[in-house]
Amino acid sequence: MSLYEKLKIYYIAEEKMWIKGLFTNDILIFSVISSITAQMLKVIFNFAQKKKINWRLAISPGGSPSSHTAAMTTLTLLLGARYGLNSPYFTISFVVASIIVVDALSLRREVGEHSKTMNEIFWETSWGKKLREVIDIKIFEELIGHTGLEVAAGFLWGLIIAAIDIILYL
């Protein structure tokens, strides 16, 4: 068997291991579960409040709980539990999680507030009606950022999902 054939067999085996590793990586799986279930909780919480199912919330970037915060909390806690709080994995995840939370609370929330104001101007004023006759104006997405409570709910949900993973795999 030539060196090329040996390398090709090794490469194929490594490629299969990479794919297998992707589907057996509990930290990745539980972080994704945290995000997806947080998105579904938005639909459930909204239904409990308004008695109407709004499936758009399942893909909405705003609302409670914050799925970004939940996923990053799960990821950060699991990396810290598995590799230690002084590991580079935990450090990188903690910094990225902090940026995401601050972004959700400030920039994205502010964009949502601006969207509300612009929708009011374009859709509830005579000036907006005249402008819509000339320009095609779409309704801006208003549910973009998060309140502190929504971020806290995302953190709590991420903590719960991380705890389940720790109980099962650590």
Write down the pTM of the prediction. Answer: 0.76
CA distance linking residue 108 with residue 130, whole number of Å: 29
CA distance linking residue 59 with residue 62, whole number of Å: 9
Low-confidence ranges of the chain (pLDDT < 50): none
| pLDDT reported for residue 23 | 82
Residue 43 identity: V
Phi and psi angles of residue 139, each rounded to the nearest 5 degrees, phi first: -75, 130
Tokens, residue 97: 């999680």
| pLDDT reported for residue 143 | 60
Helices (H) and strands (E) in the chain, counts: 7, 0
Going by C-alpha positions, the residue among 93, 141, 92 that lies closest to residue 115 is 141
| pLDDT reported for residue 137 | 73
Site of tokens 């995000």: 35
Collapsed DSSP state (helix, strand, coil) of residue 147: coil
| pLDDT reported for residue 93 | 97
Collapsed DSSP state (helix, strand, coil) of residue 1: coil
DSSP assigned state of 60 = -
C-alpha distances out from residue 59 to 42, 55, 74, 94, Å? 9, 8, 19, 25
C-alpha distances out from residue 14 to 29, 151, 170, Å? 21, 40, 26
CA distance linking residue 44 with residue 92, whole number of Å: 32
| pLDDT reported for residue 119 | 73
Write down the domain spans for the chain: 3-169
Q: What is the pLDDT of residues 33-55, one digit of tens each?
A: 999 999 999 999 889 888 888 88
CA distance linking residue 70 with residue 151, whole number of Å: 8
